[in-house]
Amino acid sequence: MARSYALIVACGRDRPGLIAGVASAVAEAGGNIEDLDEVVMKGLFVMSLLVSLEGSASLEELRRKLAERGGELGLKVEVHDPVAEGWMDEGGGDRSGAG
Amino acid sequence: MRVVVTVAGLDRPGIVAGVTSTLASLNANIVKARASSLLNLFVMVMLVDTSQLKVPLKVLEDALKERCNELGVAVSMEAEADFVKERRLVAFDADGTLIDAEVIDELAKEAGVEEEVREITRRAMEGELSFEESLRRRVRLLKGLPLERVLRVASRVRVVPGAREILEELKKAGFITVLITGGFDVVAREVGRQLGFDYVFANRLVVKDGVLTGEVEGEVMGPEDKLRLLKEVAERHGISLEECAAIGDGANDLLIIRNVGLGIGFNPKRVVREQAKAVVNIKDMRAVLAILGVGRLKEDVKARVESWRK
């Protein structure tokens, strides 16, 4: 089965446990975090994640899990499909960001 | 206070969740994090604020080591000020670290004294016997073993996965590389030559009439000597111990590991696991490369950490 991707952006008021909360929701949905960038700016938590989904893992399930977890954590979470948006080629495209 | 936590391992789901949940459970807050892949390993570097920590820093370090052991990933935790320091020299232990075997055990097999030697090795690695005493006792058991069979053992010794890559990358990055082992020159020199080490230090087995005499030439090189030799090499290149990293697995490496800027336990024995700043739980030297921060990811985080400190 083809590999698909999800680009996730999460933000809100910072406190310990936010990365753990989001990352565990991703893991529960069968997603694998390929790239992660997080920063705290004046107490504001901002995180972006590039997640790959393989096999039975679906974008819908990931969206559902993250909406639920985001609500619990007090985070706004956006989940984008970079291939459908035309930001990334099918199957991952340019991976020059890795490293 | 802030610390930098680096995690490296084979990519699979759950690493980020596993590591960050341990941090969160002790109220450590991740203020900056970056994760990506480096040499096909998943690497994550986190700048962690420990000012609201519920427990002493050592408890956090131990909890991280334990969790990363369960996850099968390498981990290091350094004070922010240490993390941004340049490392210029890396020292490796041989047996059990760079070499995927204890050569003395292999020689013991050849000599048919496997059981006796293994017991002495175990006690030495756990710190129950002094290194010198254990080495002399073990070599004595090898008396009469023909050199030819020693060389046969040397030729079948294998380096751990990633050993060639790490030496290549370190040399490219301008590091001085040192192989310092309480093991034997017959093997260490061959491995050192193959991998292109700048310096090799090892104990010499005495050979007379083509057989081992059961003696070690001159003084046995123990932990203090290893540290002294490392210091000498570092000084020759104008490098401080702070700027050195060292990788080892046993009690014999502890003195070096505690005295250099970054001590790394490689699939280490308990005493080393407890005291090394970094622990690599997988038999893959590329993880050490990630911990040492040879690669763009660490440079990226380091630049951010530095800009944030200003």
Q: Which residue of A has its CA nearest to B21?
A: A20
Residue A97 within a domain: no
How many structural domains are present in chain A? 1
- Tens digits of residue pLDDT in B263-301: 999 999 999 999 999 999 999 999 998 898 876 666 666
Indicate the residue of B30, B36, B44 with minimum beta-carbon distance to A99. Answer: B36
CATH of the domain at A24: 3.30.70.260
Domains of chain B: residue spans and CATH:
2-85+295-309 (3.30.70.260), 91-230 (3.40.50.1000)
Give a yes or no: residue A96 inside a domain.
no
A56 in a domain, yes or no? yes
Residue ranges making up the domain that contains A9: 4-85
- Asked if A19 and B20 come within 8 Å (Cβ–Cβ), the reply is yes
B74 in reach of chain A (CB within 8 A): no
Note whether residue A95 is domain-resident.
Answer: no
pLDDT by residue (tens digit) across B119-177?
A: 998 888 777 888 888 889 999 999 999 999 999 998 889 999 999 999 999 999 999 99
Query: For chain A, how far is it from start to end, CA to CA, in angstroms?
Result: 26
The verdict on residue A99 lying in a domain is: no
pLDDT digits (tens, 9 = 90+) for B206-228: 999 999 999 999 888 888 999 99
Residues 6+ apart with CB under 8 A from A68: A25
Residues of B in contact with A30 (CB under 8 A): 13
A37: in domain: yes
DSSP string for residues in B10-74? E--TTHHHHHHHHHHHTT-EEEEEEEEEETTEEEEEEEEE-TT-SS-HHHHHHHHHHHHHHHT-E
Instruction: Identify the bridge partners of residue B180 per DSSP, sorted by sequence position.
Output: B201
Contact between chains at B16 and A33 (C-beta distance less than 8 A): yes
Single-letter residue type at B224: E
Q: Confidence band (pLDDT; 50, 70, 90) for B259?
A: very high
Q: Which one of B19, B30, B39 makes the best mutation probe of the A interface by having the most chain A beta carbons within 10 Å? A: B30
Task: Name which of A21, A27, A36 is nearest B33 (Cβ-Cβ).
Answer: A36
Two structure tokens written together for B253: 């490496």
Contact partners, residue B139, CB within 8 Å, separation at least 6 = B104, B205, B212, B214, B215, B216
Instruction: List the pLDDT tens digit at each of the 99 positions of chain A.
Output: 578 999 999 999 999 999 999 999 999 999 999 999 999 999 999 999 999 998 888 999 999 999 999 999 999 999 999 999 999 988 765 444 443
Q: In the annotation, is B93 catalytic?
A: yes
A24 min Cα distance to partner chain B (Å): 5
pTM, full prediction: 0.87
- The percentage of residues in chain B with a pLDDT greater than 70, rounded to a whole number, is 95
Q: Say whether B21 and A36 touch across the interface (CB within 8 A).
A: no
- SS3 (DSSP) at A56: coil
Number of Cα atoms under 13 Å in the Cβ half of residue B125: 21
Of B287, B295, B285, B286, which Cα lies nearest the Cα of B93? B285
pLDDT for residue B308: 60
Asked if the structure places residue A77 within a domain, the reply is yes
Residue B2 pLDDT:
94
